[in-house]
Structure 1
Amino acid sequence: MRIIPLKEGNFLVSKTKEFSVLEDNDESEGIRMAVQPFLVMTNDENILLDAGVGWLENGHLKLFDNLKEAHVSPESISKVLLSHLHKDHINGLVIDDENGLRLAFPQSKIYIQRREYEYALTKTDSPSFDFVRLNFLINYADIVWMDANEGAITPEINYVVTGGHTPFHQVFRIQSEGKIIFYGADNLPQSRYFDMHVAYKTDYDGKKAMQWRIQWEAQAKAEHWQILLYHDLSEPVIQF
């Protein structure tokens, strides 16, 4: 099993959720974060964990460039597992260029927690969502709707709806070849979240997210997890 971070870049995010490339020594106001989906390659398939902000570099989808560098074709991605539906996690699934909108991975199954989508529909005034791309995705992609609080997608892939960052945010655990990969998405976006037991106000339920992190840290140490960090500026994967 291989893990390949597909980093789109380090970004400065404004209060209105506009993303710009984070330059060295930039002192502008905003949140500093990486955006990095993950490719997990098992013996049987290529799995994408979240899909990035859809960043274009020299007119090309950065996500595609990253896959090409890893010698992986977009057509070989069998599953895309979405933790939640904020635009920096889903926009890479829909290309928006001079040719209009089209699916980046039309052959892939896209796994979405149904209740998270229903929640998103109540937040049409929120800049965290891109409803043009989200609606296109829902209308044209091969969606697998997830309704349970936890379960198995395959014998190797399990999910749990945790809430926290959003009401129905979900996390994924992949166990294969004697390894355990854990993806906590925006409930565990950076390694420093382990250092400070803080309930962040930017989360829908920061206390719940904090409690999950305490539990995950104990499990990670006991079971030697590899943890994938979607927003960490310098450390995409940590090993316990």
Structure 2
Amino acid sequence: MKIIPLQEGNYFVDKNRAFIPLTSAINEQGLKLAVQPFLVITDTDYILIETGSGHENLGRPIIKDLLVKEGITPEHITKVFLTHFHKDHIDGLGIIKEGKYQINFPNAQVFGQKREYEYALLQTQSTSYNFQKLMPLQDLSNMVWLNEDSGNLTPEISYQVMGGHSPYLQVFWIKDDTETYFFGSDNLPQESYWQHSIAYKSDYDGKKARDLRTHWKQQAQEENWKILLYHDMEKTMI
């Protein structure tokens, strides 16, 4: 098994939750973060965990170029795992072409938590969602809707619904014979979240997210997990 971080880039996030490439907003004061999906290669699958922000380079989705750099085409991807439906996690899944949604990974099954999606559809005033790309997912033939609180998606990857940053956010464990990798998504997006016991107001349930991090930190130390970081500007893994 191989895990490859796909480092899309660093962004400044403005008050309207627009993700502005940091090179264009270097002097702005406020939230700055990375966006980096992960490619997991097993004996049977090419798996994406999250799909990035949907930014493009010369009209081509950045996520596609990142895969090509690894010698992989978008058609190679067999599974996509989503933790929740905020735009910086799902907008790389597809593009809008001639007014229609077109998935970037035509041969992939896309796994999302049904309850989280139903919640997202109701957040019509929230700038955390891109409804132009959110709405079409309900009619996407590639979607596999998860309804259980936990389970196995492949022999190597399990999930559990945890909530915290969003009400039904799900996290993933990736295991092989020697290692355990953990992806906590926006409940644990940066290394600094280990260092400060803070309940963030930007989370749906900040106290729950904080308590989950405390529990995971102890478990990670005891079981020697490696942590995959989606939004850390310095590291992809600790």
TM-score, normalization: structure 2? 0.95
Counterparts of 1:47-196 in structure 2, within 5 Å, are 47-97=47-97, 100-196=100-196
Alpha-carbon distance in structure 2 between the residues aligned to 1:65 and 1:25: 23
Give how far 1:181 is off.
1.1
Alpha-carbon distance in structure 2 between the residues aligned to 1:139 and 1:30: 37
CA offsets 1:1-48 (integer angstroms, 9 cap, x no match): 211111111000111111111139823133101011100111221110
CA offsets 1:118-161 (integer angstroms, 9 cap, x no match): 11121011111111111222212411111111111223211111
Instruction: Please say if 1:201 is aligned against 2:195.
Output: no
Aligned-partner residue type, residue 9 of structure 2: G
Instruction: Please say if 1:232 is aligned against 2:232.
Output: yes
TM-score, normalization: structure 1? 0.94
Alpha-carbon distance in structure 2 between the residues aligned to 1:218 and 1:24: 39
Distance 1:64 1:201, change over 3 A: same
Residue 42 of structure 1 corresponds to 42
Give how far 1:169 is off.
0.5
Give how far 1:198 is off.
0.6
Alpha-carbon distance in structure 1 between the residues aligned to 2:43 and 2:107: 19
Q: Where in structure 1 do 4 or more consecutive aligned residues deviate above 6 Å?
A: none
Residue 216 of structure 1 corresponds to 216
Alpha-carbon distance in structure 1 between the residues aligned to 2:229 and 2:154: 23
Residue 6 of structure 2 corresponds to 6
The aligned length equals 238
Aligned-partner residue type, residue 77 of structure 1: I
Alpha-carbon distance in structure 2 between the residues aligned to 1:100 and 1:156: 34
Instruction: Please say if 1:17 is aligned against 2:7.
Output: no
- SS of 2:221's equivalent? helix
CA offsets 1:73-125 (integer angstroms, 9 cap, x no match): 11111111100000000000111356853110121111110110111121011
Are the equivalent residues in 1 in contact too, given 2:12–2:32 (CA < 8 A)? yes
Alpha-carbon distance in structure 2 between the residues aligned to 1:55 and 1:7: 12
- SS of 2:136's equivalent? helix
Are the equivalent residues in 2 in contact too, given 1:3–1:39 (CA < 8 A)? yes
Alpha-carbon distance in structure 2 between the residues aligned to 1:177 and 1:63: 29
Distance 1:60 1:24, change over 3 A: closer
Give how far 1:222 is off.
1.5
Please, which runs of 5 or more residues in structure 1 have no aligned partner? Answer: none
Give how far 1:163 is off.
0.4
- SS of 1:237's equivalent? coil
More displaced 10-residue stretch of structure 1: 167-176 or 130-139: 130-139
Distance 1:62 1:24, change over 3 A: closer
